């Protein structure tokens, strides 16, 4: 069950020829896949294409009707390997994952695919996680395109262009027997817009038909001597075929201008930012009309030499807007211009920064430099940032940084509270962190974790620390990472190499960080997947002797288990501690409506809510340093004698109980209390409540009178 449901929106996928489709980028891409007649779709979730997986998952019914097989792959390598069926059969397929991290994982299969070449069109939809909002290392997918020879489409970021690019991608793939990357940038995935739809198409050949009539073609298998022929074929046959298709269908666009001395070349994905920046500089209007001609590379790879030469010839200078590094496109264009002896100056990274996102402000600086050098008469309008600089400096220290953190009631919080207490008790450990929500542990307030090497690689990241010590390395791994590869790369590896390291597997029932998708070990029954497979048993299956499952909110037991694991005798092999607690976002989404319904149906229900006594809170905030829960916050101290804000639990508390457990375990203070509010109380509740209220009230009134007398 994913975080966001697209059940209603996917109905739009059924619309046909001529109807207008309105919605988010990811839905539009899904519609384009169906219009292209795909046979199969796979992938692995991860921002920014998580929702694409969720849309496909929610569209299962529509996909089945069309004879399309969809699966959530075990990892990106699995997804990429799935495309193998397009090598021998005219089956169109698409897979999707986050890039570059997912592409890293997939690259073995992708390289094999690209070597053998494809019969049916293969489109790999890349969620390019680059720039603001990104959560990964800043690299380019472009390198993968070049090394394996996979074409890379980077369409202009509007829905009709993205849809057209998706459809062309299949045609291009088949015309050149080459897989195609369709690059979607972060914000393009969530763009809202419209396009004219066409009918969905059933695949030309069904999976069953292909499966029952196997084709074996030795030429397509990556083994010598075929592998040597593949390389020749790539450059001699497939590349020219691709160039021909791209030229013929005008996948790249030239927007003519009136000037013949200057020009701009831009990656499709950056077109909108370029135009808006030029508009602010008075070089274009809001509709993209400009004096300076622009060549838009909707195909970022391969470079179409003839188009580039034609565009550049006769111009004094051309500005290349190429985001990311190394500057592959700049290098390629320079080579072409040199070879064809075109004397046009090409300015790319000289005008624009080598690294970092090309925001409008960055492009502005580059354009101003470029114009100043090649158009003496041009004067830039005042930079709006100058108008506000004075105000920005005045508030310099008044905008607190916001680091991401765990959600309200997150079951992972008590794990890190326990770890923090363990470190306070025994000193710091080397903690090898992993990818997932749990990676927020490296930030305040927990500040736990030394490295992260990639998804599922938490345990593997501690492999070298397999040496005699009183302080074994601690590795963290999520359930997502565990099934993605961690079981073999981390746990199995530790067994085989006789490591004593402790791996904490955070089992929150879902692939939570990517939006709460189901996993092998999900506790809920999924309609079309097999779930409820035990992590602990899997670890035992690869030979782990020391395993334990602890409910995360039981901090006492969690601490005891951690202590036991790090104190275990040397040579007893790896320890696997499964920390079990359901992702609160998912739990709340499921339980809240049930609770509300039960209350409105008149059933007796009890709701827990935590609070901090402002009378006894002394404003030390140790509770916050062991929690970081968004609902545990501060407010001004009502005591005029004190300066420190008091801790305070706001309305968003879901009553997970972590605060109270931490207060107990860390011996914090007597300020935490739990309220248990009874809805639809029964007779016993009401009678007891009345008796208690009058007895306690009687005592309280007496005390109050006495206090007033002495006051």
Partner 1 sequence: MITISRERPITIAILALGGLGGGVLTKWLVDMAEANGFLAQSTYVAGVAQRTGSTVYCIEMYAADKAQEQGRTPVFALYPVPGDVDLVVAGEMAETGRAIQKGFVTPNTTTLIASSHRVFSIIEKEAVDDGIVDQAPVAEAAAKVAKKFICFDMEVLANETGSVISSVLFGAIAATDALPFDKGAYEKVIRDTGRAVDRNLAGFAAGFTGASRPAPAAKKEEVPQAEPVGANGRALARRIDNELPAATRVFALHGALRALDYQDAGYANSYLDTLTRVHEAEAKVAGESRQFSLTTEVARQLALQMCYEDTIRVADLKTRRERSQRVRDQVGAVENQPAHIVEYFHPRIEEICDTLPAALGGYILRSPRIRKIMSPLFTKGRNIRTSSITGFLMLRTIAKMKRWRRGTYRFSVQQKLIANWLQRVLAALESDYDNALHIAQSIESVRGYGDTYERGLKRYEEAIR
Residues 14-73 that bind partner 1 (CB under 8 A): 22, 47-48, 50-51
Nearest partner of 411 among 541, 278, 509, 535, judged by Cα? 509
Angstrom distance (rounded) from CA 344 to CA 402: 46
The tokens for 194 are: 């419209």
CB nearer to partner 1: pick between 437 and 566:
437
Shortest distance, position 8 Cβ to partner 1, whole Å: 12
Shortest distance, position 160 Cβ to partner 1, whole Å: 10
Angstrom distance (rounded) from CA 80 to CA 83: 6
Question: Does residue number 683 form part of the binding site for partner 1 (CB under 8 A)?
Answer: no
Given 18, 224, 225, 400, the residue binding partner 1 (CB under 8 A): 400
The tokens for 687 are: 């009678």
CB nearer to partner 1: pick between 132 and 212:
132
Q: Give the DSSP letter string of 468-507.
A: S-SS--EEEEEHHHIIIIIIIIIIIHHHHTT---EEEEEE
Phi, psi for residue 670 in degrees, rounded to 5 = -90, 25
- Please, what is the angle between helix 555-567 and helix 413-426, to 10°? 50
Interface mask toward partner 1 for 346-385; x: CB under 8 A: -------------xxx---------------------xxx
CB nearer to partner 1: pick between 158 and 547:
158
Question: Does residue number 260 form part of the binding site for partner 1 (CB under 8 A)?
Answer: no
CB nearer to partner 1: pick between 223 and 684:
684
Given 213, 232, 258, 467, the residue binding partner 1 (CB under 8 A): 258
Which residue shows structure tokens 């006789």?
498
Shortest distance, position 449 Cβ to partner 1, whole Å: 16
CB nearer to partner 1: pick between 326 and 645:
645
Nearest partner of 582 among 645, 489, 505, 509, judged by Cα? 509
Interface mask toward partner 1 for 107-146; x: CB under 8 A: -------------------------xx-------------
The H or E element spanning position 361 is helix 360-374
Helix residue spans in 260-322 (DSSP H): 271-280, 305-312
Shortest distance, position 264 Cβ to partner 1, whole Å: 14
CB nearer to partner 1: pick between 570 and 643:
643
- For partner 1 (CB under 8 A), the number of binding residues is 132
> Which residues, including other chains, have CB under 8 Å from residue 552's CB and lie 6 or more apart?
411, 412, 413, 414, 415, 558, 579, 580, 581
Shortest distance, position 5 Cβ to partner 1, whole Å: 14
Shortest distance, position 618 Cβ to partner 1, whole Å: 4
Helix residue spans in 117-237 (DSSP H): 142-148, 159-176, 186-189, 207-212, 226-233
Contacts to partner 1 from residues 290-319, by CB under 8 A: 290-291
The tokens for 456 are: 């599922």
CB nearer to partner 1: pick between 202 and 621:
621
Shortest distance, position 686 Cβ to partner 1, whole Å: 7
Angstrom distance (rounded) from CA 699 to CA 31: 70
Question: Does residue number 449 form part of the binding site for partner 1 (CB under 8 A)?
Answer: no
Phi, psi for residue 287 in degrees, rounded to 5 = -100, 0
Given 218, 376, 399, 683, the residue binding partner 1 (CB under 8 A): 399
Mapped to the 3 state alphabet, what secondary structure does 626-681 carry? CCCCCCEEEECCCCCCCCCCEEEECCCCCCCCHHHHHHHHCCCCCCEEEEEEEECC
Interface mask toward partner 1 for 472-511; x: CB under 8 A: ----------------------------------------
Question: Does residue number 288 form part of the binding site for partner 1 (CB under 8 A)?
Answer: yes
DSSP 8-state class, residue 333 = H
How many residues belong to the chain? 711
- Span from 295-303, 462-470, 488-496, 625-633 in contact with partner 1 (CB under 8 A): 625-633
Given 8, 216, 402, 570, the residue binding partner 1 (CB under 8 A): 402
CB nearer to partner 1: pick between 331 and 360:
360
Question: Does residue number 273 form part of the binding site for partner 1 (CB under 8 A)?
Answer: yes
Shortest distance, position 575 Cβ to partner 1, whole Å: 24
Question: Does residue number 261 form part of the binding site for partner 1 (CB under 8 A)?
Answer: no
Question: Does residue number 669 form part of the binding site for partner 1 (CB under 8 A)?
Answer: yes
Nearest partner of 47 among 516, 526, 531, judged by Cα? 516
- Burial of 593-622, coded b for 16+ CB within 10 Å and e otherwise, reads eeeeeeeeeeeebeeeebebebeebeeebb
Given 223, 287, 569, 570, the residue binding partner 1 (CB under 8 A): 287
């Amino acid at each position: 069950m994913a975080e966001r449901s697209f059940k209603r929106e996917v109905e739009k996928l059924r619309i046909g020829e001529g109807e207008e489709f309105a919605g988010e980028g990811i839905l539009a891409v899904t519609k384009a896949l169906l219009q292209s007649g795909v046979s199969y779709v796979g992938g692995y979730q991860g921002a920014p294409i998580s929702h694409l997986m969720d849309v496909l998952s929610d569209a299962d019914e529509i996909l089945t009707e069309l004879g399309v097989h969809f699966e959530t792959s075990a990892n990106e390598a699995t997804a990429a390997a799935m495309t193998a069926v397009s090598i021998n059969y005219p089956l169109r397929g698409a897979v999707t994952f986050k890039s570059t991290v997912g592409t890293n994982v997939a690259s073995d299969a992708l390289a094999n695919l690209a070597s053998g070449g494809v019969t049916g069109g293969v489109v790999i939809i890349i969620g390019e996680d680059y720039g603001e909002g990104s959560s990964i290392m800043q690299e380019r997918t472009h390198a993968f395109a070049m090394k394996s020879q996979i074409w890379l489409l980077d369409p202009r970021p509007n829905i009709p262009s993205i849809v057209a690019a998706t459809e062309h991608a299949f045609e291009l793939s088949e015309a050149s027997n080459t897989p195609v990357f369709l690059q979607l940038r972060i914000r393009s995935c969530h763009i809202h817009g419209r396009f004219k739809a066409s009918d969905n198409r059933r695949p030309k050949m069904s999976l069953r038909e292909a499966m029952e009539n196997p084709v074996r073609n030795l030429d397509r298998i990556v083994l010598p001597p075929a592998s040597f022929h593949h390389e020749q074929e790539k450059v001699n046959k497939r590349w020219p075929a691709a160039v021909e298709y791209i030229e013929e269908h005008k996948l790249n666009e030239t927007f003519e201008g009136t000037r013949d001395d200057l020009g701009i070349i831009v990656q499709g994905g950056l077109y909108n930012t370029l135009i808006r920046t030029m508009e602010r500089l008075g070089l274009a209007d809001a509709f993209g009309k400009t004096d300076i001609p622009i060549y838009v590379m909707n195909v970022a790879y391969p470079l179409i030499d003839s188009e580039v030469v034609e565009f550049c010839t006769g111009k004094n200078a051309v500005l290349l807007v190429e985001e990311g590094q190394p500057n592959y496109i700049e290098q390629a264009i320079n080579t072409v211009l040199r070879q064809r002896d075109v004397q046009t100056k090409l300015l790319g990274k000289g005008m624009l920064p080598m690294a970092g996102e090309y925001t409008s402000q960055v492009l502005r600086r580059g354009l101003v430099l470029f114009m100043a050098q090649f158009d003496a008469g041009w004067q830039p309008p005042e930079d709006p940032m100058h108008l506000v600089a004075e105000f920005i400096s005045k508030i310099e220290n008044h905008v607190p940084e916001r680091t991401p953190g765990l959600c309200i009631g997150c079951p992972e919080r008590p794990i890190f509270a326990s770890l923090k207490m363990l470190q306070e008790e025994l000193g710091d450990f080397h903690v090898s962190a992993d990818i997932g929500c749990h990676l927020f542990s490296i930030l305040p307030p927990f500040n736990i974790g030394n490295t992260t090497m990639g998804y599922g690689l938490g345990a593997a990241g501690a492999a070298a620390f397999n040496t005699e010590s009183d302080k074994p390395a601690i590795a963290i791994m999520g359930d997502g990472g565990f099934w993605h590869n961690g079981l073999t790369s981390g746990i199995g590896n530790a067994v085989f190499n006789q490591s004593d390291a402790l791996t904490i597997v955070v089992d929150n029932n879902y692939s939570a960080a990517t939006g709460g998708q189901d996993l092998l070990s999900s506790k809920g029954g999924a309609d079309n997947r097999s779930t409820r497979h035990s992590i602990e048993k899997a670890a035992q299956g690869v030979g782990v002797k020391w395993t334990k499952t602890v409910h995360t909110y039981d901090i006492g037991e969690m601490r005891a288990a951690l202590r036991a694991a790090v104190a275990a005798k040397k040579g007893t092999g790896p320890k696997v501690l499964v920390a079990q607690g359901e992702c609160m976002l998912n739990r709340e989404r499921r339980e809240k409506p049930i609770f509300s319904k039960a209350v409105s149906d008149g059933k007796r229900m009890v709701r827990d809510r935590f609070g901090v006594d402002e009378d006894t809170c002394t404003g030390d905030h140790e509770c916050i340093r062991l929690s970081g829960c968004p609902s545990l916050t501060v407010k001004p101290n009502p005591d005029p004698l004190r300066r420190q804000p008091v801790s305070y639990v706001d309305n968003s508390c879901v009553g997970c109980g972590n605060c109270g457990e931490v207060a107990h375990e860390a011996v914090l203070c007597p300020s935490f209390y739990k309220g248990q509010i009874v809805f639809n109380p029964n007779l016993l509740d009401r009678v007891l409540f009345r008796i208690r209220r009058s007895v306690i009230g009687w005592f309280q009134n007496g005390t109050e009178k006495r206090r007033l007398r002495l006051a």
